[in-house]
Chain A
Amino acid sequence: MPDLHDLGGRREFFAPIDHFPDEPVFHEAWEGRVYAIATFLQALMGPNFDAFRAVMERLPRDEYYGPYYGRWLGVMEKMFSRYLTGERTVARLKVVATAFALKQFVLRPTVPRFVAARVAPRIVGNAKRAKTAARFGVGDVVRVRAERNTGHTRQPGYVTGRRGAITEHHGAAVFADAHAATGSTHAEHLYTVAFDGTELWGDAAEPNTEIRIELFEPYLELA
């Protein structure tokens, strides 16, 4: 399982935080180019951030821990390699239509209320009705299963095997693990689970702290 990216509580990464209250959006011109090219290609090909993250998590170690947008560059070179070699193409009309739609509807200081509230979430979000009833409800005490999927997953190591309580259930969403692995868009229920600091870190926990995190139903079992 790739774990380059799964950093919660990993002491080998503990270091002072280089915090600057104000910093430019892009520090160097190439960062903006990488970000914008990725945005354009996601709009063109249909966004699959799960696949994007899955490729990122398997980058060579030095590249993952290098500059942030260098990571994005590495992903694009891999994800779109067959387009770069010319093996695959996209119809010119589709590229023109994507450019038009972005300029016309997306790249604006504000968008109409119904677009922001109702249209955009359907395009950029993964919320979807699940085919099965929810197994858990608010207040249930659950344990995060001991095992994890071997590929991309949104089940962090530091909550694996730990007990928490469900505080919210906001419906379901496309299951990231399967979406990244096979492109499947089947949905699983999503719960917000609260963990007390001491459950996660034992005696090392700081007083009066808790962590809340959204977890997909397959990650959970009744405690």
Chain B
Amino acid sequence: MSDHPEIATRVEALESVLTERGLIDPSTVDAIIEHYEKDVGPLNGARVVARAWTEDAYRERLLANGTKAIAELGYGGTEGADIRVLENSAEVHNVVVCTLCSCYPWPVLGLPPSWYKSDAYRSRMVAEPRAVLAEMGLELPEQVRIRIWDSSAEARYLVLPQRPAGTDGWSSEQLIPLITRDAMIGVAHAVEPG
């Protein structure tokens, strides 16, 4: 049972009129849903980050031109025309928001989670990032500069988190589970091993 039965009914009505009028192809609509549920998600971004952690030349290409370096792994498309990669360091922590709507790098992170699209996150992140991050479990010392990126126009941003200590010599496959969606938005660090 839907929490929003009135909306669900309107969607059914819209889809049936569009189908009757021959404006949509229902099997393609099904395929779009499946694509975003199965193929496109933060695992893509995690593969990009793991490669950047393990291959310096790739990391440099990624920071120089995110879209092109991400395309090497076969990811690209809607909301990914101009992807910029932001590297976290001991001095600067990057975090991403869209105050005007819900801009987000779909090809590498999938569709945005509800909290990213919430009024609370969109209003607060630019004004009180330390409070928001602390509330989400990430306390950063004052000497770390917090750089908030408001996605307002063409660029979409992917945060390159710091590689956790104790992972020297780890393969991409071992590193990928440490790289969460939250870390690539910038509201968390990558997971510490062990």
Contacts and interface: CB of A to CB of B under 8 A. Distances in A.
A117 B68 contact: yes
- Secondary structure at the A interface, as helix, strand, loop or mixed, is mixed
Interface in A173-211: 173, 176, 190, 192, 200-201, 204, 206-211
Interface string B58-81: 000000000110111111111111
B111 A6 contact: no
Interface residues of A, number: 97
The 7 closest A-B pairs by CB, nearest first: A125-B81, A116-B76, A110-B74, A8-B99, A116-B71, A117-B71, A36-B32
Interface string B5-38: 0011011101101100111110111111111110
B8 A209 contact: no
A62 to B, nearest CB: 12
Interface string B96-136: 00011110000100110111011111111011111110011
A7 B136 CA distance: 20
Contact of A6 (B36, B99, B115, B149): B99
A176 B121 CA distance: 24
A30 to B, nearest CB: 4
The interface centre, meaning the residue of B11, B102, B110 with most chain A CB atoms within 10 A of its CB, is B11
Contacts of B151: 214
Given A21-B181, A33-B15, A73-B10, A200 B126 contact: yes
A56 B70 CA distance: 31
A30 B145 contact: no
A5 B15 contact: no
Interface string A13-56: 11111111101011111101111110111001001000001001
Nearest to B82: A125
Contacts of A32: 33, 36-37
Interface string A127-151: 1000000000000000000000000
Contact of B28 (A40, A173, A210): A40
